[in-house]
Amino acid sequence: MQIDSNGWISDAERIPSPNFDQRAGGIDILVIHNISLPPDEFGGDGVQRLFTNTLDRNEHPYYRTIPEGRVSSHFYIRRDGHLIQFVSVLDRAWHAGLSLWQGRERCNDFSIGVELEGCDSLPFTDAQYKVLQDLTTALRKAFQIKGIAGHSDIAPGRKTDPGPCFDWRRYLVALSA
């Protein structure tokens, strides 16, 4: 995977989100999330439509429970390993919300967000781990990323993702290989 001068990954499908702004500083951390819309259902386009402000809230009862607001992430990795990029890594995506990492608030300011199509109760796929590993390696080559955290690590008590089914050991061992 290569990152071009505009902050886009060569191997990713681009679906630009309007939900971003400029970064004020550098990138220190990679934040891993999970998401599925509707919850625990995979393969639909709900996440893409949420991140592009085109989600029809009348399409599914759960969609009406999602708070109004604009959210995005830099990346989304589908169950089959398909990689989608919504926001340039040079810009700030709106994925972390209220957050704190090593005494620093507003993690969106200095993080890259990666959403895995998933939930807290089901394992992630081999394809997802492979793409996440490749993406992390590419991002580490391009930026001085000092940490990798789950959404639950930067927003404890408020968020649970990537959840107990995310195999941190498998992911971190693969990165060090």
Listed by start position, the domains of the chain span: 13-176
Select which of 41, 59, 68, 115 is catalytic.
115
CA distance 43 to 64: 20
Each residue's pLDDT tens digit, 1-10? 999 999 999 9
> Using an 8 Å Cβ cutoff, are 84 and 78 in contact?
yes
Report whether pLDDT(130) > 80: yes
Each residue's pLDDT tens digit, 61-107? 999 999 888 999 999 999 999 999 999 999 999 999 999 999 999 99
Q: How confident is the model at residue 177 (pLDDT cuts 50, 70, 90)?
A: confident
pLDDT (average), residues 23-46: 95
CA distance 139 to 145: 8
Q: Which CATH class is domain 13-176?
A: alpha beta
Told to judge if 117 belongs to the known catalytic residues of this protein, a careful annotator would answer no
**Beta carbons within 10 angstroms of residue 72's beta carbon:** 24
Closest CA to 66 of 46, 80, 93, 83: 46
CA distance 152 to 161: 5
